[in-house]
Chains A and B, each alone.
Chain A
Amino acid sequence: MSHLEPFPVRTTVNELLRLQELELILAESRIIHASASHPPTAIRQIEADIASLRAGIPMAHLRRYDRLRRSGLGVAQEEGGVCTACHLSVNQGDLIRMRRGEMAWTCPHCARFLLLTPANADSP
């Protein structure tokens, strides 16, 4: 089995989730404030935050994330052992391996980056 090196685990996936959220907010804000004569300055702050976040994420993970985002979500959260993007259960063994840092934090079904809930993410 091949993995990205280093594994995308909590820190990277958290950053990718934050990045995804900001990108979505930016897309929404560009639509709803498009006709405003004075768009909120917060839009420029979001653009700066996105640039800053992207600069801190390893390039290999960022490329993969961008590919996934072209068709919607790049990152999803795990809830109750289920990927909230594809709604399929993630094998408990895989969750344990992810928790131990032995496996990339990605959904085995839809390949999106997967942020584990704290209960499943705590290291033993």
Chain B
Amino acid sequence: MDIKTLLPRSHVLLNLQADNRRGLLEQLALPMQETGIVANLPRFVDDVERREEQITTQIGRELAIPHARSTVVRRLGITIGLAAAPGIPFHPGAQENCRTFFLIAVPAFAPTAHLTLLQGLVHFINDARRMEKLRAATTPTQVLNLLAAYKWPA
């Protein structure tokens, strides 16, 4: 998997700020709308919200991997967002806020296209040192270099 193809520089957002999850998801989805991956931003965000209602994608360690299959997604896409402490509330029942977000857009016609990406991401974020460096990044290029240096599953 070539993460650089999936993740252009414009899909890395630093210093995210939002009052609620909806606002956060809209910010994360916007770059994918601008690059033509998401054809209809409100509908895509609705689909992500519906997916969150099934089971949260907040996985602890101030991380969330929101994603959804949607008919308004044209191809697989991802946006990474970092927020400063104290983070942004994500799952209503969670004890902690989130500071790192990976929003994945999955086309409805290829509903398993993202599973390899998810596996790679989980492996990446399970390395505490890598995540520390990611959170300390001050430019999108630093984020991209960290992700590109990781050996992604094929």
Q: Are B56 and A72 within 8 A (Cβ)?
A: no
Q: Is the interface of B mostly helix, strand, loop or mixed?
A: loop
* CB atoms of B110 and A72 under 8 A apart: yes
Q: Size of chain B's interface in residues, with CB distance under 8 A? A: 22
Whether B55 and A36, one on each chain, are in contact in the complex, defined by CB atoms closer than 8 angstroms, is no
User: Contacting chain B: which of A3-11, A21-29, A51-59, A100-108?
Assistant: A21-29
* Interface status of B40 (Cβ within 8 A of chain A): no
User: If the complex has contacts A40-B56, A84-B108, are A27 and B115 also in contact, measured as CB distance less than 8 A?
Assistant: yes
Cβ of B59 under 8 Å from chain A: yes
B112 contact set on A, CB distance < 8 A? 24, 27, 72
CB distance from A31 to the nearest CB of B (A): 5
Nearest-neighbour CB distance to chain A for B10, whole angstroms, equals 25
Instruction: Give the complex CA separation of A40 and B57 in angstroms.
Output: 10
> Could you say which interface size class chain A belongs to?
20 to 34
Q: Is the interface of A mostly helix, strand, loop or mixed?
A: mixed
Chain B residues, Cβ within 8 Å of A42: 54-56
Q: Mark A75-100, 1 if CB is under 8 A from B, else 0.
A: 01101000011010000000000000
Q: Which residues of A sit under 8 angstroms from B110, Cβ to Cβ? A: 72
B126 within 8 A of A: yes
Interface string of A35-58 (1 = CB under 8 A from B): 110001011001000000000000
B contacts, CB < 8 Å to A? 51, 54-57, 59-60, 65, 67, 69, 71, 108-112, 114-115, 118-119, 122, 126
By Cβ-Cβ distance, the 10 closest A-B pairs, closest first, are: A42-B55, A31-B118, A29-B55, A25-B54, A24-B111, A32-B59, A32-B65, A85-B109, A31-B119, A40-B55
Name 30 interchain pairs, CB-CB below 8 A, sorted by A.
A20-B111, A24-B111, A25-B54, A27-B115, A28-B67, A28-B115, A28-B118, A29-B55, A31-B115, A31-B118, A31-B119, A32-B65, A32-B118, A32-B122, A33-B59, A34-B122, A35-B59, A35-B126, A36-B59, A36-B60, A40-B56, A42-B56, A46-B54, A46-B55, A73-B109, A73-B111, A79-B71, A84-B71, A84-B109, A85-B109
